[in-house]
Amino acid sequence: MLSVDYLTESEKSKVYSALEFSSAAHKGQVRKSGEDYISHPIAVAEILTTWKLDSKALCAALLHDVVEDTHISVENISSEFGKNIGKIVDGLSKLDKIKFDTKSQEQSENFRKMFLAMSRDVRVILIKLADRLHNMRTIQFVKDKDKIIRKAKETMEIYAPLADRMGMNRIRDELEDLS
C-alpha cells in the first residue's frame, strides 16, 4: 500500500481516511486499463510518498479527482478533511479546467506562469506533476492517438519544463522520455 512510515500515527490515520473516502466515492469507476479508478489516486499518492510530502498533500492526492468525477463538492472535502486539504483539492480542480492548445513556446511559458500563479500552495503543483507522471506512465491504455499526441505535447511543453524549474530533474527526464 502507501509507504507512509515517516508520518505520525494521527497523520497516517488521516491519509487512510482519505483513501477510504476516495475509494467509496470512486466505487464502480474504472480506468481505461480496466483497473478500479482508485488505483490512480493511490499511484499519485505513492509518487508523493517517495518525495516525502506531508499528510495533507497525500490526502489531497487521494481526493484529487473526487470533485471532478463524483457528486462530492470541495465543501464536502473541506468539511471532512479540513480547509487546507479542501483548498489544495480546489486548486487542483481549477488547474484541471485549463484547456491547453499549445502552439508556441511563448504560450507554453504563459501556461507555466499561470500554473505557478494559480497555485498558492506548492503542493498543488507537486500533486499535478505526480498526476501527470502517472497518467503518462499509463498512457498506453488510451486508444485515441490524437489525445495521446496532445497529452505528450502538453507534457513536453508544460509539465517537463515545470519540473525542471522546480529542480526535479529526474521527473523532468521521465516525463520527457514518456512523451
- C-alpha count within 13 angstroms, C-beta hemisphere, residue 81: 34
The helix/strand/coil state of 163 is helix
| pTM of the entire predicted model | 0.89
How does pLDDT run across 132-174, given as a tens digit for each residue? 999 999 999 999 999 999 999 989 988 999 899 889 999 999 9
Catalytic residue numbers?
Answer: 68-69
Q: How far apart are CA 125 and CA 84, in angstroms?
A: 15
Closest alpha carbon to 132 in 86, 98, 83, 87: 98
34: left (phi over 0), alpha (psi -120 to 50) or beta: left
